[in-house]
Every structure is written in C-alpha cells, then in structure tokens.
Structure 1
Amino acid sequence: MKTYKVSVWKITVNRSTKKPTYLARWGVEGTPFSKSFKTKALADRFRAKLLRAVDKGEPFDTVTGLPDSLSQGQTALSLLELAVKYVDHRWAEASAKQRDSMTDALAVVVPALVKPVRGRPEPAVLRSALRSYLLPPPRRKRERPEEIAAAVRWVEKASLPVAELTETSRVHTLVDALGRKLDGRPAAAQTYRRRRAVAYNVLEYAVELEVLPSNPMGKVRRKRGQQPVQQVDRRTVVSPRQARELLNAVTYVGGWDRASGRRLRAFYGCLYYAALRPGEALGLRQSDCTLPEEGWGRIDLEETRPVAGKAWTDSGETHDRRGLKQRGRGEVRHVPIPPPLVRMLREHLEEFGTAEDGRLFSSERGNVVAASSYSRVWKRARELALVPAQVSSVLAARPYDLRHAGVSQWLNSGVPAPEVAARAGHSVEVLLKIYAACIDGQEQEMNQRIMRGLGEEE
C-alpha cells in the first residue's frame, strides 16, 4: 500500500552502543521508521533524499517506509528469492550437514509466509520441491515430475515479499512455523533452535542486501524451555575392563573368518583409547599415525568424514570430507595414544593394510565404513561381551559411548581438564559440562575417599 502521508524528523544520536550512531527517522501513515548510520553526514544525506521524495510528491510504501526512488525494486523480492540467494551465498563454504540444516529450515520458512493463492500443494510435496529441486544449487536443473513442477509454480507465485516481514504479525507466523513438524505437532526444542538460527541469519542477509531496515526476528522472543545440557549418562560409560572385553568380543563378530569384526577392532579402539569421534576415526590415514614398536604413539588429526548424505556433499558420497570440528581449516589436533592402541593399529595395518587413499579403516571394497555397518557389529559385540542385564541397559549402547568412556577415564585418572580438552577436541567448559562422567565402579572409590576425609573408615 502506498501513501502520501509522510513526516520526516530530525536526526537523533543513539548512544546505547559502544560507538554512537545516527538515526534518520521518519513516519509513514503514523508508523515510525528509522535507519542507522555510522556518521552524521551519512544520516543527513539519507534524510535529504527522503525530503526530496516528499517534495517531488512520491508515494511511500507503508511496509518498507520507502519511496520508490529509494526502494529500487526491493519490495518485489520474495521470500523464496531471498532463500535462493542466501543458499547460493552460503553453499560453497557450508559443510554437508550445514547444507542439510539450512535447506530444512528454509523449507519451513518459505511455505509459512505465502499469499492466499488457490491450489496449495500437500505439505510433503511442497517440502520436497524446496529441499530437492529449488534450494540446492546442484539440483535445480533436475527434471521435475508434474506434481513437483506444479508445487514450484505455486510457491513462486504465492511467496510473500520480504518487506512484509516488517509487520510483527508475519514474524510471529514465521516463528510459530519453526516450532512445528510437518504434521503440525510441536518439534523438539533443539530443532526449533537450529531452524530459528538459520531463519535469523537469512534475515540478517536481507539487512545486508538493504531489503530490510533491521532484522525483525530480534523483536520476537519465544521461550522454548531451557537449553538442555547434554550431559553424558554415566550409565553408558564402561570401565577399562569392560572396554577391553568389548574390543575382544568385536573380533568374534562376522563371517566364518571373523574378518568383519577384526576389521573394526582398531576403529573402536581409536574411539576409546584416543577419544576420537567416529567421523575422525573414519578419516584417519596411516600418515597421521606415529606407531613405534614400543611405548606411546601419536595421532595427528586433520580430517573428519562425518555422515551427511549424498544430496549435500560436493562429491556425491555419503560421508563428507571436512576439517576438524570447531577448528579452522588445516588445523591439526595432536592426540598421544597409549601402547594398547599402538599395538592394535600396527596389527590392523599388518593384516588389512590401507585403502587406496591411505585411510586405515575401510570396507572390504575400500569404501568408507557405513555407520550402519559399525553399529551392527557393535550391537553383536555387546551381546557377546556383556551379561543379559547389561545388554538390555544403556551401557555402551552406541560406539560413540566409547569416546565418553575414554574421556571419563582420563579425567578420573587425574589428567588436568585443559589437557583432556585438548586431546578430545573440546573447550574446557564443554568438557566439564558434558564429558565429565564417572567410569563404572568409580562411585565406591569416591565414597571411600569422602569417608577418609571425614575421619572415618568403613
């Protein structure tokens, strides 16, 4: 909607920031608008343009607050077009998991803000059109089934202009959609936070493009429960004795020659003795390892191969190829490894060698070991190594729990937290909040220490 009812006010100074900024302020149909500038000269220049537009009799848009001479067609940019621009902007540098997360959130954002156009597709079809055809750059030229093509035509026609998000009611609609599953039920708090972060960054990008004067999501607060601290369940953590028994049981899993389990014994050993993440162990190469005949060795980690899905990796492989988590490109993490793991890795290399690219752990065909494969072997090893009550419990239920056990063992052995954090690839804060679990059988020892401190003996 356009109007000629415009008031342009004096420049004001905002001193609430570290460096004062200057606000050009005006009102359109009684609605106040403002734009921040680093210097007074820039603010005065923008104010002069507003006054010039008023003198020329230009109509002002009630949504953006701008005259046509300053909007430069920005009001026409739809939310779908903004989403595509944002994906193009982020795609090359984003990891496969970030691409997955980004398109998941945008497949919620775009359908939430549409015009009342007839023929809206089913939610699952619309989501598929966005996630598999419109948003990922490599998939936009794929041949589209008629159902998908119809959904694409609909969303291109129905998607609201980005400028509509200056209305608070629109932002509330967006935030509500972020917290819902496809069937309308509430999504998990973690899913909501992840989607909201993507939506916020998209609107920040709109501000950079000068499509929006400010990020409207900053005005809408929605409590979704306290951020959960994902502490390790101490019941999942095995003792050193249990870890050894599990690693031994792995070798009995497989075909008649037991090769399936033996191929993975050193892989699980890396998770326990070096506290590697599964993706880090899968990316481990022989050149990353220092394996002396006696004593301690070392692993120099540089790459990880997390599971992401073929749709989101540049290579089309299921496993992405990335640098280490929360580290810059090319950074290396040095992990000293104890003699039991050194021997395990030497035995693995002697029996199985490496893949063509030097990776230690691969399938019989030389591919990256699938998560389903090493999880299946682990499930069988638990059945062989643990008593029935433990098998039905959460004790070492996942291979990842070996990493928790390894870190907990280091901490309970008295290794300083900063050193443990450096070896495990975490900050000290995260380490103490999440990974400081007690190993199995440690509670009694701790109780005895407390009794001795009280001057009593059990």
Structure 2
Amino acid sequence: MSYSNDVDFYRLARKKRRRGHGVRWVVAGREFSKWFTTEALADNERTKLKQAAKDGESFCTETGQPESVARELKAVSFYDLACEFTDLKWAKAAAKTRQGTSEAFAVLAPVLVKSTRGMPDPQVVRDALYQWAFHTERRKAGPPPEEYEKAITWVRGASLKVTELDTPGRRSELIRKALDALALRMDGKPAAAKTVARKRAALSGLLNYAVEKDIFPASPLGKVSWERPKTTNQVDRRRLPSPELVDRLLSVVEEERPDLVAFYACAYYAMMRPGEIVALDREACTSLPSTGWGSLSFEDSSPRSGSGWTDSGTTHDDRQLKHRAEKETRHVPIPPRLVRLLRRHLDQFVDPGEDHLFRGKRGGPLSESTYGRVWQQVRRKALTAKQLRTELAGRVYDLRGAGISLGLNAGVPVPVLAERAGHSPAVLMNVYAGCLEGRDQLWNKRLEAAFDGADPEPESEDDTPGEAA
C-alpha cells in the first residue's frame, strides 16, 4: 500500500438522490468520493479530510483515506495477528522456535486486552493459548478442546486491535505492559534475562510483520524506552571444568555407564553440541584410524523439543546443523583418545545392524533426561562438596565450552577453532573468550615476568593448573 501527500479537494457536490451530498478529492491523480444524506454530514467529512492533509498526514493511493484511517481499516486483533504470524513461520521454523514463539504469545495475548472482566483462570488461559491457539497444526485440526473453549472465546472477544499499540496516547502504556509481562514468570518472579530476550524477539517479529502488512508505518517497539534485563553471551568461566577435572569426570562415567563415555567425550574433545552427538551415525565415523588423529564428518542435529512441536511427532527435532544450510557438513579433527573411545564404542555398544551411535533403551534417540541424569550422578561422585555447591560442569554443554576455551588458551587460531566448533569467529570470541577456571596461576606468572621485563618462563609441571575451584 502506497501513500502520497499530493491531495486536492473539490467543493461539495450535489446530486438528485437520497445520498445526494458528496465529498470529492484527488490523491496522486486518482479521484475519490463519499456521499451523505445531508450537506452538514458531507461538510464535516470534508473538514476532517482537509485537517488531516493540513496536519501533514499522507493519504492512501488505494483507498483515498488518510494514513491513520487506512491503517485502522486494515487492523486486526492482537490475537488474530499472532495466529496469522504463527502460521506464516510454522513450516520452516525449528521445533524449539515454534515452542518459544507460542510461549511468548501465550504471555502477551492475555495482557493486551480491552478489559480483564470475565477472564477465566489465568493458568487455563495461558495453557489454551500455548497448547492450541498458537500451535498451527492443532488449531487447524479443529475446535479447541472443551476445557479450553471458554478461555479461547474470552481472548478472541477481549483482544485489542493491533493499531492501539501505536496510538500516541496509549503506546507507552501498552508496550510497557507487554514487556513487563514478558519479564515475569507465572509465579511473579523475574524471568531469566535470556528468556526475556527470546520472548521480546518474538514480539518484535510480530510487530515487524504488522509493518510489512502496512498496519504500522514503523514498529512501536522502538518508540518506547524500556530497560531490559542485562544479558551476556559470554560463557561463565566458573562453569568450565579444567582438563584434569574432565579426566576425573570421564573416569567416573567409565565406572558407572561405559556406554556413555564416548558421548560425553565428543562434547569435550570434538566440541559438539548434545543434539549433534545424539544424531551421530556410522557414516560420520569413517575416519577413525588405529593410531593418530581421526575426524568426524556430520550434517545433522537432533535437539530435544518435545513431541508436540516436531514434524515427526518424536521428542527430537531432526534438523540441519545450527547456523548452517541443509546438507552442509562439518568436519572436526579429533584427538587419538577420542578416536579410541569411538572405536571401542562401535565395537562394544553398537550392534552391526544399527546406524546411530547413541540410542535410548527402547531404541529411540538418546534422551536429554537420560544423559542429563547420568551426568548429575557423575558430578556427585567426581566433585568435592564445595564444588557441588557451584555450577561447575553443571551441564553436559559445559564440556563443549571447556573444549573450546581450552583451544583458545592453547593458541589455536580463532578461524580454525570456529570452524571446528561450528561458530563464526566473531561469535566464538564473543561467547568463549574466557579462560578456563583454574589457569589464573599460569597467566599471572607470565604477566609478572612481563612486568619485570623478563622472558616468561616456559610452562613446567608446576604450572599445570589444578582442578577448578
């Protein structure tokens, strides 16, 4: 839809018919008219149109209406636009993205309403929106379940017109109300900063879609100054285990679950994401020599998302590698110790007819709950009581972070390390630039030597970092 300030008005017109008093005007050479039963009504309409032009408002070349009126005519409710946006993105979105978008809209829709009068139980409303309204396949399959009918009916009727989010007198109030809702959990406590950022991104995407549909001239989100919770992309160095601690953790895994040693070792030595390890198959392991370094080549990832959000109906979403196109392969050189672990794993724990390296008890993908639960058991055996009170090695993902940080500290060029880890060099430096916990003693000695004008002493056995505190 295009707009123009080239507007001219004619005198009031008169014709012999019931609606015989007309307003006529021209926008960018195209004539428009509107007819009324009395001259007073026609004159009032002409006055409003002329005032809009005098205020500098552009006129729509398709409808002839001032921009504010034209956009209002195209306006839909927040609920309807959120459903439309969800449907637009659904087919190409990853399962976790579908889930996150639905969660954000389920928080926003109940607060962007004309009134909360007659509102059903807030938890039921949120469940109805999350489980049905903003789940494209379930909504298109038929009416909402009986327990959600009342909640959906209420939201549909109470939902604000999207255009109200950019009304000068209400913009600040409504946008702040929406953002404040995103910043809280259901129990009223502050949500994690990254959760707020993710939900705000969903709102931003929806409002940008409204701009695309000519409902807004620009997103109202950028017109409101709201202090969002501070976030950092950098990995918390206190979570990353030292090489010595990794060895001890893997030794405990060897005692407790030898079938999972190679799984955790891939996260550390190959710097793989858990979803990538779950998807690892025989084809990826064709270069595992009996001695020396080998390599892994893989193109798939299976992050856990919940069966209700994947196309396959399974708990894992079969996707291409993160930040990569379909069929794009990542090649990762792996050290001899990981080569040996993978060769042993293939020999002892993968049947000849099986393809994937790591499977659950029932033959499906290895679940996050399984490898996460085992990891917590291993932590309790490998860490001291003091370490257990911290977040040190708290997640399997921390093994990947420790492997990447170790590579940085070892002097591996950033572009090389980024390629192996599946990151861009900029992202890798932004996220993983921290040193490993427990290596400060080494860096301090080298700095002290530099301050004294002496050559740093070569690394000796005494410089070897101890276990992370």
The TM-score with structure 2 as length reference comes to 0.79
Tell me how far 1:346 sits from its aligned partner: 0.7
Matched, 1:434 2:434: no
1:207 matched to 2:211? The reply is: yes
What letter is aligned with 2:133?
L
Equivalent in the alignment of 1:240: 243
Q: Which SS does the other structure have where 1:120 is aligned?
A: coil
Number of the residue aligned with 1:11: none
**Which residue in the other structure is 2:262 paired with?**
266
Q: What is the CA-CA distance between 1:25 and the residue it aligns to?
A: 7.8
Shift in Å at residue 200 of structure 1?
2.0
Over 3 Å counting, the alpha-carbon distance change for 1:95 and 1:263 in structure 2 is same
Change (3 A) 1:47 1:128: farther
Per-residue Cα deviation, 1:298-357 (whole angstroms, up to 9, x for no partner): 111311111211221111211111111122222222111111101100100101116977
One-letter code of the match for 1:52?
Answer: F
| Alignment partner, residue 179 of structure 2 | 178
Partners in 1 of 2:398 and 2:266 — Cα distance?
Answer: 12
Q: How many residues are matched?
A: 413
The correspondence of residues 385-404 of structure 1 with structure 2, limited to 5 A, is 385-404=382-401
Give the CA deviation at 1:143: 6.2
In structure 2, the partner of 1:218 is: 222
Cα displacement string for residues 400-430 of structure 1 (whole angstroms, at most 9, x for unaligned residues): 1111111122112221111111111122222
**1:367 aligned partner, one-letter code:** G
C-alpha RMSD of the superposition: 3.3
CA distance in structure 2 between the aligned counterparts of 1:48 and 1:218, rounded to whole angstroms: 34
Return the alpha-carbon distance in structure 2 between the equivalents of residues 163 and 390 of structure 1: 53
Deviation at 1:73, TM superposition (A): 8.7
Any idea what SS the aligned residue of 1:334 has?
Answer: strand
Conserved? CA contact 1:105–1:178, under 8 Å = no
Give the structure 2 partner of residue 37 of structure 1.
none
Change (3 A) 1:117 1:109: closer
Distance 1:393 1:362 in 2: 31
**What are the equivalent positions in structure 2 for 1:2-41 lying under 5 Å apart?**
24=5
Deviations 1:41-61 (CA, angstroms, capped at 9, x unpaired) = xxx995445x62479956879
CA distance 1:64–1:144, change in 2 (3 Å): farther
Q: By how many angstroms is 1:174 displaced?
A: 3.3
- Report matched runs for 1:51-200 at 5 Å: 52-53=32-33, 71=70, 74-75=73-74, 77-116=76-115, 118-140=117-139, 141=141, 144-168=144-168, 169-170=170-171, 172-180=173-181, 181=184, 182-200=186-204
Gaps of 5+ in 1: 1-20, 27-43, 254-260
Higher mean Cα deviation, 230-239 or 128-137? Answer: 230-239
Larger radius of gyration: 2
- Equivalent residue for 1:6? none
Change (3 A) 1:190 1:48: farther
* Distance of 2:277 and 2:201 partners within structure 1: 30
What CA distance in whole angstroms lies between the structure 2 residues aligned with 1:76 and 1:225? 31
Percent of matched pairs sharing the same residue = 42
In 2 relative to 1, CA 354–300 (structure 1 residues): closer, same or farther, beyond 3 Å?
A: farther
**Paired AA for residue 314 in structure 1:** D
Partner of 2:440, secondary structure, is helix
Q: Residue 52 of structure 1: SS of its match in structure 2?
A: strand
C-alpha separation between the residues in 2 aligned to 1:282 and 1:432?
26
> 1:356, 1:366 within 8 Å by CA — same for their partners in 2?
no
Distance in 2 between residues matched to 1:163 and 1:451, nearest whole Å? 62
**Distance (whole Å) between structure 2 residues aligned to residue 25 and residue 369 of structure 1:** 65
Q: Secondary structure at the match of 1:336?
A: strand
Deviation for aligned residue 1:94: 0.6
Distance 1:217 1:436, change over 3 A: closer
One-letter amino acid of the counterpart of residue 84, structure 1: C
The range that moved more, 376-385 or 267-276, is 376-385
Alignment check: 8 A CA contact 1:300 1:333 kept: yes
